[in-house]
Amino acid sequence: MGPTSSAIQRPGFLGMSGQSSLDFQCFWIKEVPVKIILSSDEYGELIPAIQQAVEKAGHECTYVGPGPGEEKDWPVVTSDAVARVASGEFDEGIVMCWTGTGATIAANKVKGIRAALCGDAETAKGARVWNHANVLALSMRKTSLPLAREILQSWFETPYSSDDWNLKQIQSIRDLESKA
C-alpha cells in the first residue's frame, strides 16, 4: 500500500469541523467561466468540496482520478490531467496527492505547465502574480476545508501580472522549457 492508503490513520484530515463542503461566499466568481480539471491519486473530502465550490462560482470542474476507496498512481493521474491543460482543453488545473509535492513534480514535467504547491492563500496569490501558475497543487494531508476555501479564493481572485518584469520572467521559463 502507498503512503496515502486508507490503512493510514489521518487525525484531523478534513472534517475536524464537521464541514462537508466549502460552503462560502464566492467572491472569486469570474465574468468569464473557466474550465478546471481536478485530479488526485486518492478520493477524499476535498474532491467533492472543490468541485462544488468551483461550480458554485460559475466554472466547469471535471474530476479525473479514482473513486471512493480506490487509488491510482499520482504521476499518472496528475500527468493525464495537466496534459489536458497544456493542450488547451482545460484552462487551469488543480492537482492533489498526500503531500502535494509529487503531484507538483509530475505536473511540472509537462511542457507549458506552471504548477505551484500552495499551502496558504498568500502563496497562491504569489503563484498567480509572479509565476503565472496555471495549475494549483494541494496537499491532501495538510489542506483542511477552511484552508482550501482561503487558497481557492486567493487563487481565483488573483490575475496574472502584466508588468514587463514579470512577463520577462515567464518568458525565461518558456525558454528553459524549449531547451529541455
Active site residues: 97
On whether the CB atoms of residues 116 and 104 are closer than 8 A, the answer is yes
On whether the CB atoms of residues 143 and 46 are closer than 8 A, the answer is yes
